[in-house]
Amino acid sequence: MIRTQISLTEEEYAAAKREATRLGVSLAELLRRSLRTVLPVDDTKPWMRYAGMVETGDPASSRHIDDVIYGRKD
């Protein structure tokens, strides 16, 4: 990761913190997700637009990502 610094108004900062708290993520993660929505997608990797955006509520979801993406096989 590369660290960077941005300036926000007090209102922007407060709103972003509230939204990050509501989503259960850090402010940095909220800003990364937001940035991904406006950046051009690498046409060779269209699935990357969704990287890091799947919300399952399962803290162990990375261990069974295929189930998260494709659904459980019954």
Tens digit of each residue's pLDDT (9 = 90 or more) over 35-63: 988 887 666 766 655 666 556 666 666 67
Is the residue at 41 inside a domain?
yes
Q: Residue 62: what pLDDT?
A: 64
- Residue 17: φ, ψ to 5°: -60, -40
The count of domains in the chain is 1
Q: Is 64 helix (H, G, I), strand (E, B) or coil?
A: helix
> What pTM did the predictor assign?
0.56
The residue-averaged pLDDT of 32-37 equals 90
Is 20 inside any structural domain?
yes
Is the model's pLDDT at 9 over the cut of 90? yes
* H runs (alpha helix) in 1-72: 10-23, 27-36, 65-70
In whole angstroms, give the CA distance from residue 33 to residue 53: 7
| Residue range of the domain that includes 64 | 10-70
Residue 5 domain flag? no
pLDDT for the residue 25: 92
* 2 within a domain of the structure (yes/no): no
* pLDDT score of 36: 85
